[in-house]
């Protein structure tokens, strides 16, 4: 057979096209810079703010905000510590925290005239940026046992807003969910740092609900609850907003990339709020450490998860909890009579996992998970613990959710990868390596699996157990 050179087609951009494109880009950049500055700059010091970390500054800061709203103005928070109660942001404005600036949330609930510390409703074209810090004063709202009392919740909430940018700032010591995006469209979250005590409950990093076109890039999130969580509402009374406009409960077109995550619960999570559709989601190039769940999909409310892709993820589980799941996927019911939801078209590729826990993929006795793909990945188990087979209880993502006669649990099955109530599950080029452990553990456990497709599945078991245990 004659060998020839592969012909490569190369497309060149003409000089005219390049110059035209660069000229347009320059004009656009200049216009954006002019548009952001045209409303003026409002330094909170000019409105009487005092940077001593103890004087309440709610009124001067809010006055600066009111001057900037709607006009493209920029509120400047300069270096210094500014103690403040709740703040209300609006559309067409920028909040800029300069290097060395710190907004400190009041520990006195009497300084709050809303549930949230910072609220931004109907805030189209809002920008929150800079190199400063927002301190939630979270430890003031927890007791010595980390039980929360009355507190601002969520901490920072952006609702019913389009074309939002949040970049550069540091969020620390949150008393509740840190950044909540609800019914939003076209949001960029970039270079954000979130740091909360790992013991602090209910301190999700970023929650995305009923929103679309959200980009999360180059963020570092370390928190006591879910790091990044996607939800879709199950409440019918939320379909109309305060302006009488129709809302969509669908969460779609979400891109999360180049992030570092630590969580005392789930690093990447869907649910438990799952009343509608979550679709067209990608998580890529992510490092996960010290998390109870690396990836978790809790289906509770009869909705649908579909077209969700996880790729190029390096994960090491571990937390103060005994149960660990590198991946947890389950269809359950919030109530015994709740509609049974769907999980379909989910892919995992290029995952590097170190865990002593489980990879758990389970549908419902009445509805299989479908078309799940797990490729080009390796799973390392340093030290398998026999408490898995004896004591584990299936997590449900919410303490109030119970086990029902209609649901199923397989978490006590003696294997690292558990697949149950599944149709068309594909595993290709996957390694499962057990290094040591007291228990007998299979690599793969199957129960009611139809259409399993395996190629280049390799590894070992513990204590001479079969590599695959199929109980069907």
Using CA atoms, how far apart are residues 194 and 319, in angstroms rounded to an integer?
18
- Joined tokens for residue 207: 């929650």
CA distance 112 to 61: 14
* Euclidean distance between CA atoms 214 and 186, whole angstroms: 6
- The contacts of residue 254 (CB under 8 Å, 6+ apart) are 208, 211, 212, 214, 216, 230, 280, 281, 282
pLDDT (0 to 100) of residue 344: 98
Say how far apart CA 235 and CA 207 lie, in whole Å. Answer: 17
Could you say which DSSP state residue 320 is in? S
Q: How far apart are CA 409 and CA 394, in angstroms?
A: 6
Q: What is the pLDDT along the chain (472 residues), one digit of tens a residue?
A: 333 333 333 333 434 334 434 443 443 344 344 344 457 999 999 999 999 999 999 999 999 999 999 889 999 999 999 999 999 999 999 999 999 999 999 999 999 999 999 999 999 999 999 999 999 999 999 988 988 889 999 999 999 999 999 999 999 999 999 999 999 999 999 999 999 999 999 999 999 999 999 999 999 999 999 999 999 987 766 778 888 887 889 999 999 999 999 999 999 999 999 999 999 999 999 999 999 999 999 999 999 999 999 999 999 999 888 889 999 999 999 999 999 999 999 999 999 999 999 999 999 999 999 999 999 999 999 998 766 667 889 999 988 899 999 999 999 998 999 999 999 999 999 999 999 887 788 999 999 999 999 999 999 988 877 899 898 7
CA atoms of 105 and 175, how far apart (whole Å): 10
pLDDT value at residue 11: 36
pLDDT at 320: 86
The C-alpha atoms of residue 84 and residue 79 are separated, in whole angstroms, by 15
Confidence at residue 14, expressed as pLDDT on a 0 to 100 scale: 39
């Amino acid at each position: 057979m004659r060998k020839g050179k592969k012909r490569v087609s190369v497309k060149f951009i003409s000089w005219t096209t390049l110059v035209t494109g660069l000229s347009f880009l320059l004009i656009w950049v200049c216009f954006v810079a002019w548009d952001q500055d045209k409303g003026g700059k409002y330094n909170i010091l000019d409105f009487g703010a005092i940077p001593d970390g103890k004087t309440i500054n709610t009124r001067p800061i809010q006055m600066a905000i009111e001057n900037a709203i709607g006009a493209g103005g920029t509120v400047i928070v300069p270096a210094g510590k500014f103690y403040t109660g709740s703040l209300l942001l609006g559309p067409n404005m920028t909040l800029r925290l300069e290097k060395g600036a710190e907004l400190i949330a009041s520990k006195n609930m009497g300084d709050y005239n809303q549930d949230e510390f910072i609220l931004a409703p109907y805030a189209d074209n809002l920008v929150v940026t800079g190199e400063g810090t927002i301190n939630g004063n979270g430890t003031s709202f927890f007791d010595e046992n980390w039980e929360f009392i009355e507190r601002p919740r969520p901490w920072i909430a952006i609702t019913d807003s389009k074309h939002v940018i949040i970049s550069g700032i540091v969020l620390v010591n949150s008393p509740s969910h840190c950044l909540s995006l609800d019914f939003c469209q076209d949001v960029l979250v970039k270079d954000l740092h979130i740091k909360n005590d790992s013991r602090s409950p209910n301190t999700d990093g970023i929650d995305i609900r009923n929103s679309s076109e959200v980009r999360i890039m180059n963020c570092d999130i370390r928190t006591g609850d879910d790091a990044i969580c996607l939800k879709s509402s199950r409440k019918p009374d939320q379909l109309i907003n305060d302006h009488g406009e129709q809302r969509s409960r669908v969460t779609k077109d979400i891109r999360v990339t180049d992030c570092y995550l630590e969580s005392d619960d789930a690093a990447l999570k869907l649910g438990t709020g799952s009343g509608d559709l979550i679709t067209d989601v990608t998580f890529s190039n992510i490092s996960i450490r010290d998390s109870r769940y690396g990836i978790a999909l809790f289906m509770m409310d009869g909705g649908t998860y579909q077209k969700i892709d996880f790729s190029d993820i390096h994960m090491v589980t571990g937390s103060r909890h005994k149960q660990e799941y590198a991946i947890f996927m389950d269809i359950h019911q919030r109530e015994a009579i709740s509609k049974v939801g769907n999980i379909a078209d989910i892919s995992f590729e290029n995952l590097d996992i170190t865990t002593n826990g489980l990879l758990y993929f389970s549908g419902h006795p009445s509805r299989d998970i479908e078309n799940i793909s797990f490729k080009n990945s390796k799973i390392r188990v340093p030290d398998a613990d026999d408490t898995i087979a004896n004591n584990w209880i299936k997590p449900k993502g919410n303490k109030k959710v119970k086990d029902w006669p209609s649901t199923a649990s397989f978490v006590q099955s003696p294997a690292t990868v558990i697949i149950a109530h599944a149709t068309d599950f594909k595993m290709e080029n996957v390694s499962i390596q057990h290094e040591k452990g007291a228990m007998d553990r299979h690599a793969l456990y199957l129960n009611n699996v139809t259409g399993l497709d395996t190629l280049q599945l390799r590894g070992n078991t513990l204590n001479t157990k079969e590599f695959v245990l199929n109980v069907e």
